[in-house]
Structure 1
Amino acid sequence: MTQHPTSDARRPANRGPKAAAGNRAALVAAAREIYAVDGLDAPLSRIARRAGVGQGVLYRHFPDRDSIASAVLEENVRQVEEAAAGEGASFAGVLGVVTWHLVQSAAFIGLLHADGANGRSHAHALAPDLSERFARALRGCLPDGHRLAAPDAPDDLMLAVAMVSGAVIGPTPEERERRALAAWRLLGITVGPVAPFQQ
């Protein structure tokens, strides 16, 4: 019987050293897709196949499992920071980007809940810094007088995000998004369109 390759089994020809930046971006995008479905323990060979590169290319960019997981988490946080710093950024709009990442990345949810104290991996070691950058970006776009900006309750904003992330469960992205939006609504918080940040 002939086996037909799955979409992540097809691999184009090697694009050579000039394609390094594109290869790295493809690997991070592939890792995000694979981790969304299979978690951080997914085989690295699947990530390489999905990105359309060989495993040698993967290891040139990311010498171990932790380094690629860290790159995915770093990209999540960077997108939130860019959304918050963009011209005309609104809190609701940034929350739409945050919600998209919560729906798409179990690893991102793990980052928000990581205390960094007992983690052994590089990704866990980066968690406190990434979490602080994430919180700083959100706080920076909170409107004056917003109830999550109360000076006597400085942790309320991150507590709200953690509560919503706990509601992001379900078998499909659509169900996870529906539950996330319901959780924000129950907290009385308006969220903009759920989408990745686009420059």
Structure 2
Amino acid sequence: MHSTASPRAETRQNRGPAAAADNRRALIAAAREVYAEGGLAAPFSAVAKRAGVGQGSLYRHFPDRTALAVAVFEDNVRDLEEYTAAPDRTIQDLLDRVVDQAVVSTAFIQLVTADLTDPRVATLGERFHAVVERLVERDHAAGRIGAHVEIDDVTMATGMLATELARTDAAARPAASVRARRLFQAAFAPR
């Protein structure tokens, strides 16, 4: 009896959980690219296509755009946690990293900030708050910022910076970043 299956299909093996983890990583990377290029207007299906996985895999991992945005920001928050863990990191270092992340995550900023009460988003907010708290305490102790600066001030500043960069034309983002950072530095300086 002759098989109608292609030779490739016959040799294909189910990689199980390893494939699922690889697919998830590929989807997150693809989402960063797709939404950086096309913004929120980009079709959700384009993420699966760019990642080289099926639509079913996309929806199994991320049932909606918010779930995908949360996954992107979870990676961002994990990066901030690791980056700022070094004892010499400052609020200025945090702002540098937020700028780097905001430039490639602009569309996701709109998604994540659309519903801050979503439990998936709230958890990320709590983790980010802990990063900022550690840096504010460190910078207060070192005299790099004034005693008047509170954790919520820095959290607000980073949110303002990320949101402004998301709304700014890509070519103008570096100048907008410098201007905003100058304002924050003046506001946070010891008095």
Normalised to the residue count of structure 2, the TM-score between the two structures is 0.71
- Structure 2 regions of 5+ residues with no counterpart? 1-11, 187-191
In the alignment, structure 1 residue 164 sits paired with structure 2 residue 158: no
In the alignment, structure 1 residue 139 sits paired with structure 2 residue 136: no
Partners of 2:174 and 2:146 in 1: how far apart? 22
User: How far apart are 1:34 and its partner, in Å?
Assistant: 1.9
Partners of 2:85 and 2:99 in 1: how far apart? 17
User: How far apart are 1:25 and its partner, in Å?
Assistant: 0.7
Q: How does 1:31-180 map to 2 (within 5 A)?
A: 31-40=31-40, 42-86=42-86, 88-110=88-110, 113=113, 116-117=116-117, 124-142=118-136, 143=139, 144=141, 145-147=143-145, 150=148, 153-168=150-165, 169-172=167-170, 174-180=171-177
Partners of 2:129 and 2:73 in 1: how far apart? 14
> Amino acid of the residue matched to residue 180 of structure 2?
A
Partners of 1:154 and 1:85 in 2: how far apart? 17
Distance 1:75 1:41, change over 3 A: farther
Q: Percent same amino acid at aligned positions?
A: 41
Partners of 2:161 and 2:104 in 1: how far apart? 14
If each structure's helix is expressed as a fraction of its own residues, which one has the higher value? 2
2:34–2:46: 8 Å Cα contact kept in structure 1?
A: yes
Distance 1:52 1:131, change over 3 A: same
User: How far apart are 1:40 and its partner, in Å?
Assistant: 4.0
- Structure 1 regions of 5+ residues with no counterpart? 1-13, 118-123, 190-199
Distance 1:64 1:110, change over 3 A: closer
**Which residue matches 1:9?**
none
1:111–1:127: 8 Å Cα contact kept in structure 2?
A: no
SS of the counterpart of 1:187?
A: helix
Q: How many aligned residue pairs are there?
A: 168
Normalised to the residue count of structure 1, the TM-score between the two structures is 0.68
Distance 1:156 1:65, change over 3 A: closer
Q: How does 1:181-192 map to 2 (within 5 A)?
A: 181-188=178-185
**Which residue matches 2:28?**
28
